[in-house]
Structure 1
Amino acid sequence: MSVTPVVILTGAGRGIGLAILQHLLALPSPPHILAVTRTITPTLKSLSITHPQTLETVSVDFSSPPSDLKSDIKTLITDVAINRWGRIDSVILNHGRLDPVAKVGDAEVEEWEETFRVNFFSNVEVVRGVIGELRRFGGRVVMVSSGAAVGAYTGWGAYGASKAALNHFNQTLALEEPDVTTVAIRPGVVDTDMQTALREVHGKVMKPEEHAKFLNLKKNGGIVKPEDVGAVLGNLGMRMEKGLSGKFLNWNDEALAAYR
Structure 2
Amino acid sequence: MVEFTPVIILTGAGRGIGFAILQYLLGLPNPPNILATSRNIKSIEPLAAVHKNLEVVSVDFGAPSSELKTVISESVINTAVTRWGRIDALLLNHGSLEPVAKIDVASLEDWEWNYRVNFLSNVELIKSALPELRKSNGRVVLVSSGASSIYFTGWGAYGSTKAALNHLNSTLALEEPTITTVSIAPGIVDTDMQTSLRGVHGKVMSSGENTFFNSLKENNSMVKPEDVGAVLANLALQVEKSLSGKYLNWDDEILSSYRA
Tell me, in whole angstroms, the C-alpha distance in 1 between the residues paired with 2:107 and 2:76.
33
Q: Share of identical aligned residues, percent?
A: 60
Q: Does the Cα contact within 8 Å between 1:77 and 1:129 map onto a contact in 2?
A: no
SS of corresponding position for 2:113: helix
Tell me whether 1:103 sits opposite 2:102 in the alignment.
yes
Query: 1:182 maps to which residue?
Result: 181
Q: Within 5 Å, give how 1:71-220 maps onto structure 2.
A: 71-220=70-219
Query: 2:14 maps to which residue?
Result: 13
The verdict on how the C-alpha distance between 1:257 and 1:162 changes in structure 2, with shifts beyond 3 A counting, is same
- Per the normalisation by structure 1, the TM-score is 0.98
Deviations 1:37-65, CA, capped at 9 Å, x for gaps: 11111x311101110x2100001100001
Query: 1:32 maps to which residue?
Result: 33
Tell me, in whole angstroms, the C-alpha distance in 2 between the residues paired with 1:223 and 1:109.
32
The verdict on how the C-alpha distance between 1:78 and 1:220 changes in structure 2, with shifts beyond 3 A counting, is closer
Q: Does the Cα contact within 8 Å between 1:98 and 1:159 map onto a contact in 2?
A: yes
Query: 1:68 maps to which residue?
Result: 67
Query: 2:55 maps to which residue?
Result: 56
Tell me, in whole angstroms, the C-alpha distance in 2 between the residues paired with 1:250 and 1:140.
18
Q: Does the Cα contact within 8 Å between 2:145 and 2:186 map onto a contact in 1?
A: yes
Tell me, in whole angstroms, the C-alpha distance in 1 between the residues paired with 2:116 and 2:58.
17
**Structure 2, unaligned stretches of length 5 or more?**
none
* Alignment length (residue pairs): 258
Q: Does the Cα contact within 8 Å between 2:77 and 2:129 map onto a contact in 1?
A: no
The more displaced of 171-180 and 204-213 is: 204-213
**Cα offset, 1:214, TM superposition:** 0.9
Tell me whether 1:241 sits opposite 2:240 in the alignment.
yes
**Cα offset, 1:178, TM superposition:** 0.2
**Cα offset, 1:15, TM superposition:** 0.4
The amino acid across from 1:162 in the alignment is: T
Deviations 1:157-190, CA, capped at 9 Å, x for gaps: 0000011000100010011000000000000110
- Per the normalisation by structure 2, the TM-score is 0.98
The amino acid across from 1:35 in the alignment is: A
Q: Does the Cα contact within 8 Å between 1:155 and 1:205 map onto a contact in 2?
A: yes
SS of corresponding position for 2:142: strand
Tell me, in whole angstroms, the C-alpha distance in 1 between the residues paired with 2:77 and 2:200.
40
Deviations 1:192-237, CA, capped at 9 Å, x for gaps: 1100000111111111111111111111011010000000000000
The verdict on how the C-alpha distance between 1:174 and 1:79 changes in structure 2, with shifts beyond 3 A counting, is closer
**Cα offset, 1:66, TM superposition:** 1.7
SS of corresponding position for 1:117: helix
**Cα offset, 1:147, TM superposition:** 0.5
SS of corresponding position for 1:102: coil
The amino acid across from 2:19 in the alignment is: L
Q: Does the Cα contact within 8 Å between 1:70 and 1:125 map onto a contact in 2?
A: yes
Tell me, in whole angstroms, the C-alpha distance in 1 between the residues paired with 2:201 and 2:79.
38
The amino acid across from 1:44 in the alignment is: I
Deviations 1:93-142, CA, capped at 9 Å, x for gaps: 00000011110001111111111110000000000000111111010000
**Cα offset, 1:76, TM superposition:** 2.6
CA RMSD of aligned residues (A): 0.8
